[in-house]
């Protein structure tokens, strides 16, 4: 009974925060499922891939891979490069996910961009269990993604309502989360440094290959400026 009440409280606290992701994932997932459907794959492909990979951008790229010749090394390299940004999420969540027992492997498995954003910035209300809160955010997002892409795979090209531009929901969500993070900080060294580095790398390396150079720049700058940042931002 106690356990049940605790889970319900965590679910109630987690759900409202995942609503924007529901909208975004159903749209993107649907688009992904439709893309697979028109590429000639049955609905169990997007369903299974969303279940085990749970990473939007890579799943889109994987469609092209599945249609091409079998190239295992290239596939693995592509997956590692596209998903490298998740390394940063892990480092940022090391302390937050500490000591969460059996839930921890699933939380790490489900640490996609959107789940990371919520779990990293959310202020967990008093009396709500941290582990269950993180668990429900992760589980709900996972469910949205799998159901969205499965439905897309099932209905395929039958859909034809005008949803052009709805993909902006993800951008809007990250803008809001960026602002929330901004308000939480006393100094904005890290945010400004990240913004500068990624815009610069985007201009130099282009849309398809700017993530890894941006990460390298951020890591280098944060390391080189550690003392002043720790002093100014009160991170000591």
Partner 1 sequence: MTMLEQAVTIALCALGTMAARFLPFLAFSEKRRTPQYVRYLGRALPGAVFALLVVYCLRDVNVLAGSHGIPEAAAIAVTALLHLWKRQMLLSIAGGTVFYMILIQVFC
Tell me how far, at minimum, the Cβ of 182 lies from partner 1, in Å: 8
Q: Which two tokens stand for residue 180?
A: 């929330």
Q: Please, which residue, 34 or 112, has the CB nearer to partner 1?
A: 112
Tell me how far, at minimum, the Cβ of 70 lies from partner 1, in Å: 4
What's the CA gap between 193 and 188, in Å, rounded?
8
Q: Please, which residue, 45 or 132, has the CB nearer to partner 1?
A: 45
Tell me how far, at minimum, the Cβ of 210 lies from partner 1, in Å: 7
Tell me how far, at minimum, the Cβ of 2 lies from partner 1, in Å: 26
Q: Please, which residue, 5 or 168, has the CB nearer to partner 1?
A: 168
What's the CA gap between 3 and 145, in Å, rounded?
28
What's the CA gap between 3 and 204, in Å, rounded?
53
DSSP state for residue 169 in the 8-state scheme = H
Tell me how far, at minimum, the Cβ of 1 lies from partner 1, in Å: 30
Residue pointed to by tokens 């469910």? 143
Q: Please, which residue, 29 or 194, has the CB nearer to partner 1?
A: 194
Q: Which two tokens stand for residue 82?
A: 């596209």
Q: Which two tokens stand for residue 190?
A: 């890290």
Please give the full DSSP string across 79-135, using - where no structure is assigned. Answer: HHHHHTTHHHHHHHHTTTTTT-TTHHHHHHHT--HHHHHHHHH--PPTT--HHHHHH
Q: Please, which residue, 38 or 180, has the CB nearer to partner 1?
A: 180
């Amino acid at each position: 009974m106690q356990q049940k009440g605790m889970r319900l409280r965590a679910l109630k606290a987690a759900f409202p925060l995942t609503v924007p992701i529901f909208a975004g994932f159903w749209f993107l997932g649907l688009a992904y499922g439709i893309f697979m459907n028109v590429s000639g794959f049955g609905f169990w492909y997007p369903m299974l891939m969303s279940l085990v990979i749970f990473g939007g951008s890579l799943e889109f790229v994987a469609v092209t891979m599945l249609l091409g010749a079998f190239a295992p090394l290239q596939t693995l390299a592509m997956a590692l490069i596209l998903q490298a940004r998740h390394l940063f999420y892990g480092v940022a969540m090391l302390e937050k996910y500490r000591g969460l027992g059996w839930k921890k492997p699933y939380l790490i498995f489900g640490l996609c961009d959107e789940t990371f954003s919520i779990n990293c910035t959310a202020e967990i209300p008093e009396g709500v269990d941290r582990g269950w809160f993180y668990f429900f955010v992760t589980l709900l997002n996972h469910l949205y993604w799998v159901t969205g892409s499965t439905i897309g795979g099932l209905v395929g090209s039958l859909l034809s309502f005008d949803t052009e531009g709805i993909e902006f929901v993800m951008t809007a969500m990250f803008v809001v989360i960026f602002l929330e993070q901004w308000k939480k900080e006393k100094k904005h060294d890290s945010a400004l440094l990240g913004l500068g580095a990624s815009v610069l790398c985007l201009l130099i390396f282009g849309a398809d290959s700017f993530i890894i150079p941006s990460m390298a720049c951020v890591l280098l700058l944060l390391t080189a400026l550690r003392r002043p940042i720790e002093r100014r931002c009160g991170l000591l």
